[in-house]
Each structure stands twice: as C-alpha cells, then as structure tokens.
Amino acid sequence: MYEAEHEMLENKVAIKVLNPVLSNNAQIIERFKNEAKLMASLNHPNITKVIDFDEQPQQLSIIMEYLVGEDLNAKIKREGALSERVTDELFKQILSAFQYAHNQGIIHRDIKPSNIFILENGQVKILDFGIAKLYSQNNEMTQTGTQMGTPVYMSPEQVRAEKSIDYRSDIYSLGVTLYYATTGKAPYDQATDSQFDIFNKIVYSPLPNINYQNKYGNIIAKACEKEKSDRFQHCDEWLHVVENPSSQNTEPEQTIFVQNASHDSTKIEIPKEQNTKANEEIISEKPDEKRTSELPSTKKKKIKSLFVVLIILAVAIAVFFIIGKTTGFGSSKSNEKENVNDPSDDTTEEDEDPEEDEGTEEDEDSEEDEGTEKDEDPEWDEVPSEDFGAYGSSEDADSSYQDFSRR
C-alpha cells in the first residue's frame, strides 16, 4: 500500500499494488481485478471508495481514497476494550455498511479488526474485499476444500470449507470482532494455540468466556452460533438491537433449575418469549400439584428406607437371640451344676461322719435346710431329702452330675 498524489488534481490517494511475485498467478490476478470491480460498484459512506484501476506489465494497482486514522485492531491495542458508547457508534456504521454490501449480493469473507478503518472524525471505512464473493452468481474462484479468511475470525462453515457460504458467515466474523472490541482480546490465542486447535474450537466449542453480564454478551452469543439459522439472519436485525436496546431479544433461552424431591437439580431451557409465562406458572403452581409430581421419587425413597430399617431390625433380633441364648442358658446350666455339686458335698459329709450328719445336722438344721435351700434353689423342692442317700459315694455323685449335664 502506497500514499500518492495525483499530478494534476493534487489530491492524495492510496494505491494498493499487487505483489510482483504474484503477478504471474492467474488466479491471484483475477481475484485482484475482482476486488477492484466489487469496491467500485459499492457506494456507501462506510466503504472505501475505488477511484481507478491501473494495469501495467507485471504490475496491477487499485487507486483508492486516502484515509487518515487507524484500524480497529490498532485502536484496541492502544486503548484496550472499547466503551459501550464507542462500540455502539462504531458498530452502527459497520452493520450498515455490511447490510448494504449483502444487499448487493457481496459477502466479504475476511472481516477482522484490521479491515475496519476508523477516521479521525470517528467515521468507519471497510477495507479489503480481496477475497469477497458474489454469492448470487455460480462462478467461484476458490475450489471446494480451500479455506479463505483469517483463522481466529473464520466461521465454522469457512473452516469446513463449505461451498455454500453466505452472508451469515460475515455475521459470525462480526460477532468475533465485537468480542475483541468489548474484551480487548481475541477469543483464541494464535501465539499458544495451533491453527488445528483453533479450527476445532471454532467448529465444536462455544465461544469462550462470554460475559453475559455485559450488554453485548447475548449479542455475541447469537451472532456466533454454530448453526447459521440460529444467528442474526441479516445485519439489519442486529442493527435494530443496537439501536433499540430495550427491544433486545437475542437471548433465545432462559436457564432455570428445578429441584426435585431427591434434591437433584434439573436444567430447563425456556424460550425468552415464554419466560414471563413460565415464571408465572412456576410461582402459581399449587403445592398439591408439586407433591403429586414428586410422589414417585418420594415413594421410592420411603420404600428404600423401610427396607433398610427391616434389615437392621432383623439383625438386631438375631444378635439379641444369640446373646440371650449364650448368657441365659449358660447361667441356668451353671446353677444346675452348682445344685448338683451341693448334694454330692452333703453326701460326702454323710459318708465321712454319718452319725453327726444324721444326728446333729438333720435334727438341728432341718428347718434351716428346708427353708434356706428351698429359697435359694426351688428345684430342690422336687427332690426328697431321703433320696440323697441314693448317691452313695462321690463316684455316684459324679455319674449323676454327668447324667444331669447330658440332659
């Protein structure tokens, strides 16, 4: 690009000269001529004017109006993210220019901040229609499978090198440009991300880190939808939102979370035009209706809890039965064993001193034996005192003990 002055008119012009290295490339030459024709056919205050075209051996030149100012990329690098006022002023002009171009059947295909020039008075000029396309015609200078554009600002259909690219591809690129203007940085970092990674993100992943608290968040999200049919369908639709913020209807869905009886959150997407009605229905919903809708999950939870309680109760009963059997029957047998040993001791004493046992103990303590022994062990009531002699000796007592144990 060169600055020049007309010798007779003495006015400054800008001359875009095709690189001599590319002068032998027929396709590049045809594209360069096509740019000159397209720009010359456009007459809009926000599109750079073409004054003339010059063709010399090994040199092709487009003569354009001379512009003083800076492109949008340089402005953002110098100032950072733009204010809402400046952003609105610029994008009203940008959208107007591209709506005009689209009406002429022209799509730019290489929209990016460096191709949007801002004059010193704030007027916008669109540059570089070098790879622009007349989508109303069948002729196509690029073959299917050829990617055209700057990677970060390319639309998903450009990345996929689709044949049927239309003006909605420009709308996607404008959305990424708005992202850069309002955040001060591009959504993808070409310094760290490979072109392959960037292309994958463009095709498969939502635009990252969109600030929906910002007035432009919903606009950017809509402009950069993966599907063309979900974007703004033309620049005038977008321009209407910029000029009438109160009528903004760019958020297609509202996300609400409904918590059920099991405390699981369910995400529900509601179209914005239905948001008010949906919210009213949620607020006015009767408690009985909520309980009815939550009944199946509540019932399942109660059945599960009851099943757990029954298991715990069965285990407790089994443990209690085992402990009771061990301690209860054991003490009974121990008592019985002690009771059997007592008569053996008495019998032994009778063998050693029968006269003393029969004379003294039976006479003096008969009342005590009958009272005390009956109180301490009622089982001895069933055994007559005269039967003690049947044990005879300690050996007989032991055998009786063993028989009793077996019972």
CA distance 192 to 182: 22
Q: 214 pLDDT exceeds 90?
A: no
Which of helix, strand or coil describes residue 119?
strand
Q: 102 pLDDT exceeds 60?
A: yes
Active site residue 110: yes
Domains of the chain: residue spans and CATH: 2-65 (3.30.200.20), 69-251 (1.10.510.10), 254-285 (no CATH), 309-406 (no CATH)
- Averaged pLDDT score across all residues of the chain: 74
Provide mean pLDDT across the span 240-257.
Answer: 62
Higher pLDDT, 143 or 68: 68
The DSSP output letter for 68 is -
Active-site entry in 52, 54, 71, 110: 110
- Cβ contacts of 3 within 8 Å, gap of 6 or more: 12, 13, 14, 15, 66
What pLDDT score was predicted for residue 380? 43
CA distance 331 to 312: 28
Chain position carrying tokens 């051996």: 57
Mean pLDDT check: name the lowest of 39-48, 54-63, 369-378: 369-378
What pLDDT score was predicted for residue 181? 96
CA distance 67 to 128: 13
Q: 258 pLDDT exceeds 50?
A: no
Q: 219 pLDDT exceeds 60?
A: yes
What pLDDT score was predicted for residue 73? 96
Chain position carrying tokens 């096509």: 34
What pLDDT score was predicted for residue 149? 63
Q: Do residues 111 and 170 touch, judged by C-beta distance below 8 A?
A: yes
Provide mean pLDDT across the span 361-372.
Answer: 46
Q: What is this structure's pTM?
A: 0.60
Chain centroid to Cα 395, Å, comes to: 87
Mean pLDDT check: name the lowest of 75-89, 182-196, 225-239, 257-271: 257-271
Provide mean pLDDT across the span 343-359.
Answer: 45
Q: 357 pLDDT exceeds 70?
A: no
